[in-house]
Structure 1
């Protein structure tokens, strides 16, 4: 059962990274753009993709522990990221994580956590993650909000595609998320899956990278925020389709498989400049 003592508990630690980690993450989300994948190309300056911030703090030390729950039944539900300054290609951040809410959704529990990271005392990024724990609901708590923003009714302004590799999850896990749900067939089967699935944050990172290419001319430093809700798993080898709408307030987006299954909805990318 859920350890309700985690509510409000603050964990703090430090996390460092190097350009090697930046390169490894970029390849993990399928990048072949030189500014994300090389540090020694003439006339090219290495950039860290903004969503790498999540790889630095999600499912990394210290591990997020919800109590005595079946970890095969824990699903990443929602994710938002606010970038206060471009993520450098090397550094060490001070990280603070706190469970802010535990909601009773009936069929399961939704646990919301917030992470704030700073570098030399200055904010670098903030992130809010929601994890859905199947079969852990029914404890009488608040259901929380379930308001969803509607996508524009017109055809998307851009339609972007990316074919994930059969070993995409095995590459992405090298950035720190070693959850066996994405690599171990036996563990995945315990969770009712036919095979290991792709990390939700890998799909998230791929989506962000494609949007950076389409709307920022490859300048990842223009991203100030991204948010989305995970709705279905992706299997390594699936083709992802990102539909995006340019609006005054930013980019609305939805990510689906080529077969039409929506895997990220309620997406929003906010740009600076």
Structure 2
């Protein structure tokens, strides 16, 4: 199996896609929003205009928006893991939109035990030509390292402040959370097929990393923005441990001058997201 190193620095697309209000509602439900969040989970509530969770950007304009995998080479998809994710919003996401997404293969790095791939996506609304958001996905493919390539940039650790956090928010995931989240378009059987999950080294299907990311995004929107989406600027985090459907997710948040830093832990106190960073949107 071989990665296509010639893809580094190349742009892909544009790819055209769309979403409607039911898609953004489904996303909100799939990351735990419910009856207490009807601005995000309904489109016709009296006196309430529909809003879209900022982390919808990961499904509205990420890898699933274009056929990218075959162009990156041949590899065992059961060994593919999500390593890091970041999003940056420039405008509120419309509840319905027709969009154009372009991608850049920013790097393919040799991590010895595997390879990491950094993909950057830019999504703009077709009608207004406004750039809505940019996302960066870093993926890790186990067993595809030691090809003599660049090791890649070092990521600076984000130290947790030595003080009590300003906010601690706990959400409970559903036993069916991964089955619900996959309806957003990520049909990787790692999250639904027990046999595939066992081949990847897990005793049962795991939750999508981006679902965990979405739960953390809801916590940040609540704690830092009082659920006002126009205040939400950027968010980034590293995935460090698997989450299983039914787990509790606790997001611990420390305010900073321009936003916050955060970590997410499960019910056993195991950190599942770290290097969490949030910034407010520039006006």
Instruction: Give the TM-score normalised by structure 1.
Output: 0.97
Give the unaligned 5+ runs of structure 1: none
Name 1:64's counterpart in structure 2: 68
Deviation per residue, 1:79-100 (Å, 9 max, x gap): 1111011111001111001111
Name 1:263's counterpart in structure 2: 272
Name 1:5's counterpart in structure 2: 6
Name 2:206's counterpart in structure 1: 197
Shift of 1:153: 1.6
Is residue 16 from structure 1 mapped to residue 18 from structure 2 by the alignment?
A: yes
Does the Cα contact within 8 Å between 2:173 and 2:245 map onto a contact in 1? yes
Query: What is the aligned-residue RMSD (CA, Å)?
Result: 1.2
Name 2:40's counterpart in structure 1: 36
Query: How far apart, in 1, do the equivalents of 2:90 and 2:220 lie?
Result: 19
Map of 1:93-104 to 2, 5 A cutoff? Answer: 93-104=99-110
Query: How far apart, in 2, do the equivalents of 1:39 and 1:224 lie?
Result: 24
Shift of 1:52: 0.5
Deviation per residue, 1:174-201 (Å, 9 max, x gap): 1111111101111111101100100000
SS of residue matched to 1:131:
strand
Shift of 1:43: 1.8
SS of residue matched to 1:41:
coil
Shift of 1:61: 3.9
Does the Cα contact within 8 Å between 2:61 and 2:122 map onto a contact in 1? no
Give the unaligned 5+ runs of structure 2: none
**Aligned residue-pair number:** 273
Residue from 133, 139, 157 that aligns with 1:131 = 139
SS of residue matched to 1:51:
helix
Query: How far apart, in 1, do the equivalents of 2:67 and 2:273 lie?
Result: 25
Query: How far apart, in 2, do the equivalents of 1:177 and 1:216 lie?
Result: 28
Query: How far apart, in 1, do the equivalents of 2:8 and 2:19 lie?
Result: 29
Map of 1:115-264 to 2, 5 A cutoff? Answer: 115-119=121-125, 120-146=128-154, 147-264=156-273
Query: How far apart, in 2, do the equivalents of 1:197 and 1:262 lie?
Result: 15
Shift of 1:63: 3.1
SS of residue matched to 1:210:
helix
Query: How far apart, in 2, do the equivalents of 1:80 and 1:61 lie?
Result: 17
Name 1:48's counterpart in structure 2: 52
SS of residue matched to 2:198:
helix
Query: How far apart, in 2, do the equivalents of 1:212 and 1:45 lie?
Result: 17
Shift of 1:62: 2.3
Deviation per residue, 1:206-263 (Å, 9 max, x gap): 1101221122111122111111111111000000010000110211100110101111
Query: How far apart, in 2, do the equivalents of 1:4 and 1:201 lie?
Result: 26
